Structure 1
Amino acid sequence: MKQYEPLKEEIISAGIDIGTSTTKIVLSQFSLMNMAGGTHLPRIEIIDKKIIHRSPIYRTPLLTSTTIDIEAIEKLVKNEYDKANVGSGDIKTGAVIITGETATKQNAEEMIHHLSNHAGEFLVATAGPDLEGIIAAKGSGAYQYSKKMSKTIANVDIGGGTANVAVYRMGRLCGTCTLHIGGRLIEFSEDKISNISPPVRNLLREWNSTLATGDVMVEKEIKNITNYMADVISRMLTRTMTAEDKVLLLGHEPNWKEEIDVIMFSGGISECLYQYESKGFEQAPYQDIGMMLADSLRGSQSLKGWSWIQPDETVRATVLGAGTQTTEISGATIQVETKDLPVRNVPVYQISFKDGFQKSVHHLKDAVKDAIEIHDPQQEGQNFALYLSGLPYVGFRDIQQLAKGLLEAVKQKNKRDQPLIIVLESDHAKVLGQTLVAQDSSQSIICIDQIKVEHGDYLDIGQLLQTSVVPVVVKTLTFHS
């Protein structure tokens, strides 16, 4: 018998972060290897991640205050790929994220889809403040710290427009929160105020302040605002925000239950605190409130109640998280139609088998009907993935019955030529996928396993790699207590 050779492969991942103030790109190389013995089913894992290129930190190019310069961004990305001697066809996974205030620009959605189509064969287009906070916490080192130490850590990633907070304990996400707090929420031109963002204008109205664009910059007045921002961060961390504070809240309130032990700051404002970057990236004095906000954080008595852990990365935390921490690898025994890959932004509908196999199979039709009502209410063809969780030990007849139930259930979909996307945590994808194909060869099947997702997540599934696995990015866009 021929000896089994360990499967190995290297793929390139791109992280692109287009933020309120700055745009960054990182290219990484992942080494994949079969970690199972020759007599076992293959188990492909990422065994090494190596950063092969970091871009300079660019000012995000805008055409107007409400429009991103798509052409300039695309040129910037191409130049960085050329420097790294990497073509867009070499990119197999990664994430493009539009963060902070940039996500509110008129052409943000157009920008992200344009870039994901031109910057690589498989790049993930993601946005949303919850996800930003999670990715930043992974890039800053907060997530890894929580796994090593039995403490609850809050990573506060403050950029130009938002402060994205993610709280972790022992590698588990406890919750998220986002605030309208950032370095470019008030900007200056020479000694005058050139721009005040809408959230800060709302705050000033609450204070009955007459401060306005065109006024001479008085440092004491601005410092009152940045000191207040630091206090709001403190009250957010203790879940004691006042009604006035909520003027600066973006989305849901803090949704963790744990008491926070330590805090970490990342993002552009933490660069003002720690100055990790070379002299090439410096904030022009008095062009925005970044340095004053950093001073307010440093001097805040309420924030001194926590130990501060220095981040591994400051301004690059989000882009490094995007490029190195977002990708998972499926099981190697899967069933996929390569012509249907990649798929992007597919919502997940969870079907639990906790009430027993027979009962759950019997209710598959109702479950798929519910999934259609949630994800495709107008029957416009929005596909979704079915995540079969808690699947018990199953035999051949059980798999036959499950496949038959699934094929019958998806006949309710308006668009019958879509692939049936099945996600399993347990190692059943190959046998279930092949059974589905045998029962209905006209139905395209994407059946993957060894991936854990939740109801409400979104999935991106990449092209089949040489090691017979697919890269998968799970995007959790909202969280519930």
Structure 2
Amino acid sequence: MIGNDRKVETIISAGIDIGTSTTKIIISRFSLLNMAGSTHVPKIEIIDKQILHKSPIYRTPLLDNDYLIDIEAVFAIVKQEYAAAGVDKSEIQTGAVIITGESAIKSNARQVIQYLSDEAGEFLVATAGPDLEGIIAAKGSGAHAWSQKHGKTIANIDIGGGTANIAVYKNGSLLGTCTLHVGGRLMEFDGDTVTKISPPVASTAEMLGIELNKGQKNGSGTDKILEEMVSVLVSVLNGDQSAAEHPLFLSQSAGWGNAPIDAVMFSGGVSECVYYPEHDDPSVYSDIGRILAEKLNSSGELRNWEWVTPEETVRATVCGAGMQTTEISGATIQIDKSVLPLKNLPVIEVPIADMNEAERSVSQKIEQAIALYDPQAEGNNFALYFSDLPQLSFKNVQHLASVICSAYRQRKSDAPIVAVVKNDMAKVLGQSIMAFTPERSIICIDQLNVVNGDYVDIGRMLDSGVVPVVIKTLAFQ
């Protein structure tokens, strides 16, 4: 897109959330526009996001006594909802598939998410892991935006069937995350008879000296477990690090330390019962979700914080996956279109504050990346992230490009050189690298913030000369 071109470009995004209890899909449309003046370098931004279609909420299809996800049934749901939205998978240009809660520990979870990432659209990102789930839910619920608008610290508590994922934001910046074994399906009933007790609940009952067994009648034991769930949640929000020893604690610690929290927001399936109890039909619940919501609502300790109503409740994660994961690169980039899209590239950060140290730093980091991600020389690729480059002269850019090319020659692979820079200098760096290795594919993009250990997915170049990028943590429990 040239500087004075004010044409709006649109792309289609899909979000697919396969949770412990439910599976949901949204289809949305992003509008992109060059926000720079005609005499400035183009700056393409997402100016509007519109939801085109929301699926019904499906029960997540499982096989083999709930140990496996039914891949064919999930894909059938995806195809059905694409048809209902009037879109073909070839039209999906960005978005995310996320496996959440206890679904992420099913034995075929990795197979499911990779299959959907490949078959449900050209550039659907495969993601899993409670930390990322909490972050995505906080964006989909509106907690992240609320913290920016009000300049306060808010904890978004996304409670699904198996876990409560907490993400804490202050002024729009993430302070930390943690995950608890608190969810609606950790205990289930047939009438008033207990039919399921999850291992974390069983351990908690043993710790508390509560008699709790399958086949017994629902009674005071269940009530005490629910009160303990709320108590642990309150302790975590108060920054009590000793809570990490509790059987209901899934994370290593509360990632935000002792930062005081101003407000709380709930999302996830249980939050529907928290905010809209009048909509409940008790006869349809065979688990503890509704009762857990009642305990949360009646907790005087939780009411010490300001309660904020979310923009999305049960669909917070899928809205975050479909609408809040995509970023747009800078427009002055160097791209070999033939190798895109690229998926699941691990990021190796290469700090270069002093150009005299460039050769040592780049060589050392590439050796480290090969040892971590391609130890068998199979051609597994990675992305170099240059985070804190000083202002570079053209001579220094040429030197850095030469150093990168020299370091890459140690690889027994013809995989593309992928570089991400924070500064607006990807085109000149990419062209300089290409001049030293014209036979090799180069991907050099900028105006992005990533950290060591992230993964990046880079989509096809859009008409505006930018690429959609999804930055994530890819981790199965």
TM-score (norm 1): 0.94
TM superposition shift of 1:242: 4.1
SS at match of 1:166: strand
Work out whether 1:458 is the aligned partner of 2:459.
no
Q: In the alignment, which residue of structure 2 is the partner of 1:392?
A: 390
Matched, 1:358 2:359: no
Rounded to whole Å, the distance in 1 between the matches of 2:281 and 2:94 is: 31
Q: What do the CA deviations read for 1:194-251 (whole angstroms, capped 9, x no partner)?
A: 1111111222222343311222222x22111111101110001112154686211113
Q: Secondary structure at the match of 2:16?
A: strand
Gaps of 5+ in 1: none
User: Residue 142 of structure 1 contacts residue 155 of structure 1 at CA under 8 Å; is this kept in 2?
Assistant: yes
CA distance, structure 1, for counterparts of residue 179 and residue 167 of structure 2? 9
Which segment drifts farther, 366-375 or 130-139?
A: 366-375
Question: Residue 476 of structure 1: CA displacement?
Answer: 3.8
1:47-62 equivalent positions in 2, closer than 5 A: 47-62=47-62
Aligned counterpart in structure 1 of residue 429 of structure 2, from 432, 443, 461: 432
Per-residue CA deviations over 1:65-86 (Å, capped at 9, x if unaligned) read: 1011111111111111111100
For the Cα contact (< 8 Å) 1:331–1:450, is it kept in 2?
A: yes
Q: Is the 8 A contact 2:182 2:248 kept in 1?
A: yes
TM-fit CA distance, 1:269? 0.8
SS of match in other structure, 2:334? coil
1:444 paired with 2:441, answer yes
Preserved CA contact (<8 Å) 2:3 2:41: no
Is 1:287–2:269 an aligned residue pair? no
Partner of 1:287, secondary structure, is coil
- 1:93-136 per-residue CA deviation (whole Å, 9 max, x = no partner) reads 00100000011111111110111111111000000100000000
Identity across matched positions, percent? 53
Indicate if the aligned counterparts of 2:13 and 2:93 stay in contact, CA closer than 8 A.
yes
**Gap regions ≥5 residues in structure 2:** none
Q: CA deviation at 1:7?
A: 4.3
Structure 1 residue 285 displacement after superposition:
4.1
Distance (whole Å) between structure 1 residues aligned to residue 244 and residue 366 of structure 2: 44
Shift of 1:412: 2.4
Shift of 1:466: 1.3
- Which residue does 2:250 correspond to in 1? 250
- Could you tell me how far 1:286 is from its partner in structure 2? 4.4
Judge conservation of contact 1:26–1:54 (CA < 8 Å) in 2.
yes
d(CA) in 1 for partners of 2:39, 2:198: 62
- Report what 1:28 is aligned to: 28
Do the aligned residues in 2 keep the contact of 1:6 with 1:38 (CA within 8 Å)? no
Alignment of 1:26-425 (within 5 A): 26-64=26-64, 65-218=66-219, 220-242=220-242, 246-257=246-257, 258-275=259-276, 284-354=283-353, 356-414=354-412, 416-425=413-422
**Residues 142 and 264, structure 1, Cα contact 8 Å, conserved in 2:** yes
Cα separation, 1, equivalents of 2:264 and 2:162: 20
Residue 15 of structure 1 aligns with an amino acid whose one-letter code is: G
Closer, same or farther: CA 320–197 of 1 in aligned 2, 3 Å: same
Q: Which moved more, 1:385-394 or 1:207-216?
A: 207-216
Cα offsets for 1:12-59 (capped at 9, x unmatched): 000110101111111110001111122222111101111111111111
Distance apart, 1:361 and its partner CA: 3.7
Q: Per-residue deviation at 1:284?
A: 4.5
Q: Partners in 2 of 1:132 and 1:315 — Cα distance?
A: 13
What amino acid does structure 1 have at the position aligned with 2:445?
I
Range 20-29 or range 203-212, more displaced: 203-212
AA at the equivalent of 2:311: D
Distance 1:316 1:229, change over 3 A: same
For residue 331 of structure 1, what is the amino acid of its counterpart? G
SS at match of 1:453: coil
Which of 189-198 and 12-21 deviates more?
A: 189-198
Provide, for residues 291-332 of structure 1, a one-character-per-residue CA deviation record: whole Å limited to 9, x for no partner: 110011111122122111111111011111111110000111
Report if aligned partners of 1:20, 1:161 keep a CA contact under 8 Å in 2.
yes
- State the shift of 1:362 in Å: 4.2
Letter in 2 for 1:235: S
SS of 2:175's partner is: strand
Partner Cα distance (1:282, 1:343) in 2: 46
Distance in 1 between the 2:336 and 2:19 partners? Answer: 36
How many pairs does the alignment contain? 472
Distance 1:34 1:67 in 2: 46
State the TM-score, normalizing by the size of structure 2: 0.95
Give the stretch that moved more between structures: 427-436 or 208-217: 208-217
SS at match of 1:298: helix
RMSD of Structure 2 on Structure 1 (CA): 1.9
* Deviation by residue 1:309-366 (Cα, 9 ceiling, x = unmatched): 1111110111111111100001111111222111111111111122x12222443212
The residue type equivalent to 1:312 in the other structure is E
Aligned to 2:464: 467
- Secondary structure of the 2:247 match is helix
Instruction: Tell which deviates more after alignment, 395-404 or 242-251.
Output: 242-251
How far apart are the structure 1 equivalents of 2:374 and 2:282? 46
SS in 2 for 1:393: coil
More off after superposition, 378-387 vs 420-429? 378-387
The whole-number CA distance in structure 1 between the counterparts of 2:253 and 2:222 is: 26
Counterparts of 1:3 and 1:243 in 2: how far apart (Å)? 55
Distance in 2 (CA, whole Å) between partners of 1:350 and 1:94 is: 25
